[in-house]
């Protein structure tokens, strides 16, 4: 195998492959990227057995062939080379196969990487030929951004280790929860999709698609054989779905809430950042509510205490709500408006955070015990 390709073009695709590859896998072949050169194209493929990636780029092929090489070292070598075209050649030796790398416009540089034959690379279905529905990239990226941070990392509750996607009368619903908080966003049903059975999608593949999406045009999405498939341009990404029963999230969403706090998002974010400097391991902060004002404070400890008062629009009873401050910081980071509203009925029950004006998403947070 022998081909020549522009360095920057190749680097972009190998970077994506490296994001997927399981760096500590017991199967050494899974640390490799598959390269197949034929008829002016180079196919790049990577997998960790759950998430798979495939793309095709234009190259000058002198001798077609296929091999696999250690992805991490390939990427490091490519980044170190000068800009311009790079020549790659697979050479068979008595001691094994070497993948040789030489920049075209800089003589005297040569790398040889040991390679593993491609027949040892896992045979996985990375793409479907039919069954895709088109989804606006910008809307899909927003859905992932508003939910993926709320996914549980508790492996004993694996059914909450992903983002749930289903359809209802309002359209598509994407939701994530870790049992103490919940993030939800809705989207109009994409053209051509009339119904959608609920699936649990691992956040790894969603975050990869979010990074690959340019935010313009559409992406294709399909679900089949307990896998989800995405395609946009020459990129194909697939992942095994999480097999389990997602909890009935609608039960924890408050139907009505009596009190509302209107507050500047930036002021609250900055106050939380400062007060968090003296927050203990519990991550507990207190919101003391009074007419027209909210005071954010930490627990008193041997280190000290921090408090900051913020003027808000609030007409209701004096109250104190205890929360994990990260459960406030995470939604504030992704809400796009300058103002937010916080709704509650009782300090011991769930609060709901909305953008102001309201958009298609909201975040529900359960309070902590007041000590």
Residue 278 has pLDDT above 80, yes or no: yes
pLDDT at 303: 87
Give the C-alpha distances (Å, rounded to integers) separating 65 from 2, 91, 113, 129, 203. 8, 11, 16, 24, 34
| pLDDT band at 156; cut points 50, 70, 90 | confident
pLDDT at 24: 61
List 177's β-bridge partners, or say none: 182
Pairing of strands 351-356, 361-365: antiparallel
pLDDT at 195: 72
Measuring CA to CA, which residue among 335, 332, 339, 345 is closest to residue 313?
A: 339
Determine if the peptide bond prior to 301 is cis (ω within 30°): no
In angstroms, rounded to a whole number, what is the distance separating the alpha carbons of residues 252 and 250?
Answer: 5
pLDDT at 291: 95
Overall pTM surpassing 0.85 (yes/no): yes
In angstroms, rounded to a whole number, what is the distance separating the alpha carbons of residues 286 and 269?
Answer: 14
Q: Which long-range contacts (CB under 8 A, 24 or more apart) does 352-357 make?
A: 352/253, 352/254, 352/257, 353/328, 356/262
More confident residue, 23 or 21: 21
Residue 297 has pLDDT above 70, yes or no: yes
List 273's β-bridge partners, or say none: none
Measuring CA to CA, which residue among 277, 307, 278, 279 is closest to residue 295?
A: 307
Mean pLDDT of the 232-256 span: 93
In angstroms, rounded to a whole number, what is the distance separating the alpha carbons of residues 340 and 255?
Answer: 19
To the nearest 10 degrees (0 to 180), the angle between helices 203-212 and 137-147 is 140
Instruction: Please name each of the domains of the chain with its CATH number.
Output: 2-120 (3.10.150.10), 133-251 (3.10.150.10), 254-365 (3.10.150.10)
pLDDT at 132: 87
Q: What is the pLDDT of residues 62-112, one digit of tens each?
A: 999 999 999 999 999 999 999 999 999 998 765 568 899 999 988 899 999
Pairing of strands 181-187, 227-232: unpaired
In angstroms, rounded to a whole number, what is the distance separating the alpha carbons of residues 350 and 145?
Answer: 22
Q: What is the pLDDT of residues 188-202, one digit of tens each?
A: 887 767 677 899 999
pLDDT at 339: 97
């Amino acid at each position: 195998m022998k081909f020549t390709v522009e360095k920057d073009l190749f680097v972009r695709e190998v970077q994506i492959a490296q994001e997927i590859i399981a760096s500590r896998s017991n199967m050494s072949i899974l640390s490799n990227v598959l390269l197949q050169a034929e008829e002016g194209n180079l196919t790049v493929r990577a997998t960790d057995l759950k998430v798979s990636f495939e793309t095709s780029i234009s190259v000058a092929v002198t001798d077609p062939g296929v091999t696999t090489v250690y992805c991490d070292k390939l990427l490091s070598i490519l980044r170190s080379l000068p800009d311009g075209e790079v020549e790659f050649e697979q050479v068979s030796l008595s001691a094994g196969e070497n993948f040789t790398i030489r920049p075209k416009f800089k003589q005297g540089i040569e790398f040889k990487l040991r390679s593993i034959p491609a027949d040892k690379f896992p045979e996985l279905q990375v793409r479907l030929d039919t069954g895709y529905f088109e989804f606006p990239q910008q809307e899909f990226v927003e859905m992932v951004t508003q939910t993926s941070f709320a996914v549980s990392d508790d492996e004993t509750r694996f059914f909450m280790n992903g983002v749930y996607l289903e359809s209802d009368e309002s359209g598509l619903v994407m939701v994530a929860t870790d049992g103490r908080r919940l993030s939800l966003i809705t989207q109009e049903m994409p053209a051509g999709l009339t119904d959608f059975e609920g699936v649990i999608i691992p956040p790894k593949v969603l975050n990869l698609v979010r990074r690959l999406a340019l935010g313009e045009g559409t992406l294709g999405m399909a679900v089949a054989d307990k896998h989800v498939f995405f395609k946009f341009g020459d990129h194909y990404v697939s992942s095994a779905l999480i097999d389990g029963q997602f909890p009935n999230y609608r039960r924890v969403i408050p139907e009505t809430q009596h009190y509302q706090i209107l507050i500047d998002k930036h002021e609250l974010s900055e106050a939380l950042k400062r007060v968090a400097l003296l927050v203990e391991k519990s991550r507990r902060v207190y919101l003391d509510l009074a007419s027209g004002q909210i005071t954010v404070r930490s627990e008193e400890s041997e280190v000290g205490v921090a408090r900051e008062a913020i003027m808000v629009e609030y007409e209701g009873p004096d109250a104190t709500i205890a929360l994990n401050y990260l459960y406030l910081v995470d939604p504030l980071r992704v809400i796009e408006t300058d103002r937010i509203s916080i709704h509650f009925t009782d300090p011991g029950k769930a609060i709901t955070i909305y953008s102001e004006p309201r958009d298609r998403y909201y975040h529900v947070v359960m309070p902590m015990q007041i000590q």
